[in-house]
């Protein structure tokens, strides 16, 4: 059996540079994994067996399944695999949980099936599964460019107190695609915001909410109607802005006062939200074997 943690991510920056002729967008982003994670257990099986504990997700829509099928077809693997998934990352909430699961599956099967894939070969497989998947082969703090296939590891950022606020009932299908459709040429930028943040990271300077940028922050108010009310409530606690997680709808805020959590949880409106703390983590996947 192989156990692997599949970590969630945040975007410390997300700029869109331009739109390619094929409809995809060129991005420049700094991604950061956090300690929120799913647990994946891989075990021998005659067939493909995926058990997502506590959830009934159609197997054909599961990125783990698509990743397994892709690897089996590419490398003519004639064996099956069983996967038990303990989900902790909220679904369709901006944390890249599905993409993280796909990358974890590539890493796991590369070991279990002894595929001996290079990192470039894994990236080539990953980008076909989703634009965020290649990043999760690296994790930690990294610059992500192009369609998501160009990854440059950066010095690890240490963020110990990141407040997460996520919804229970605003799952939107194809939300990332819909968010990108809202973009116009006026939303494109040249990457300087990300470059300035890289300078701060290289100088080991303190990262604050003012340094974080996501093109979807303002667009989130158009896509998620509850955002305006949420901001009004947060204003009462001295929080004047927040950072969107990926393409939303979850948000994150770097905080100085952990006591704010208990105060937020007492607000009746925020009873509809899950509120918790996370911190950044480092490096490539934490993989361990169990006999």
* 75-128 pLDDT, tens digit each: 999 999 999 999 999 988 999 999 999 999 999 999 999 999 999 999 999 999
- CB of 94 within 8 A of CB of 249? yes
pTM of this structure = 0.94
* 176-226 pLDDT, tens digit each: 888 888 899 999 999 999 999 999 999 999 999 999 999 999 888 888 888
Catalytic residue list contains 132: yes
- CB of 75 within 8 A of CB of 130? no
- CB of 214 within 8 A of CB of 244? yes
* Domain boundary assignment for the chain: 1-291
In degrees and rounded to multiples of 5, residue 10 shows phi and psi of -125, 155
SS3 label, residue 143: strand
Second-level CATH architecture of 1-291 = 2-Layer Sandwich (3.30)
pLDDT beyond 60 at 286: no
pLDDT beyond 50 at 288: no
Catalytic residue among 38, 132, 175, 211: 132
Within 10 angstroms of residue 91's Cβ, the number of other Cβ atoms is 11
Half-sphere exposure for 157 (CA within 13 Å, toward CB): 33
Catalytic residue list contains 9: yes
Catalytic residue among 9, 28, 66, 175: 9
């Amino acid at each position: 059996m192989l156990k692997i943690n599949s970590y969630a991510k945040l975007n410390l920056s997300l700029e869109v540079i331009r739109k390619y002729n094929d409809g995809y967008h060129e991005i420049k982003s700094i991604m950061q994994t956090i300690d929120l994670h799913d647990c994946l257990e891989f075990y021998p099986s005659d067939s493909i067996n995926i058990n997502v504990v506590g959830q009934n997700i159609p197997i054909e829509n599961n990125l783990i399944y698509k990743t397994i099928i892709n690897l089996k077809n590419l490398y003519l693997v004639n064996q099956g695999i069983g996967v038990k998934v303990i989900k902790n990352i909220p679904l369709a909430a901006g944390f890249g949980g599905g993409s993280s699961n796909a990358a974890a599956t590539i890493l796991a099967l590369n070991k279990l099936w002894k595929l001996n894939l290079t990192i470039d070969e894994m990236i080539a497989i990953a980008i076909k599964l989703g634009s965020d998947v290649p990043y999760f082969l690296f994790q930690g703090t990294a610059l992500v460019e192009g369609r998501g296939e160009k990854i440059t590891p950066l010095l690890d950022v240490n963020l110990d107190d990141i407040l997460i606020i996520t919804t229970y009932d605003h799952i939107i299908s194809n939300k990332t695609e819909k968010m990108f459709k809202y973009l116009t040429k006026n939303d494109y930028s040249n990457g300087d915001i990300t470059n300035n943040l890289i300078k701060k990271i290289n100088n080991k300077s303190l990262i604050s909410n003012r340094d974080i940028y996501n093109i979807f922050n303002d667009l989130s108010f158009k896509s998620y109607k509850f955002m305006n009310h949420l901001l009004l409530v947060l204003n009462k606690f001295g929080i004047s802005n927040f950072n969107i997680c990926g393409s939303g709808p979850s948000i994150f805020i770097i905080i100085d006062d952990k006591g704010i959590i208990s105060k937020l949880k007492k607000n009746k409106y925020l009873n509809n939200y899950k509120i918790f703390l996370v911190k950044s983590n480092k490096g490539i996947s934490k993989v361990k074997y169990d006999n």
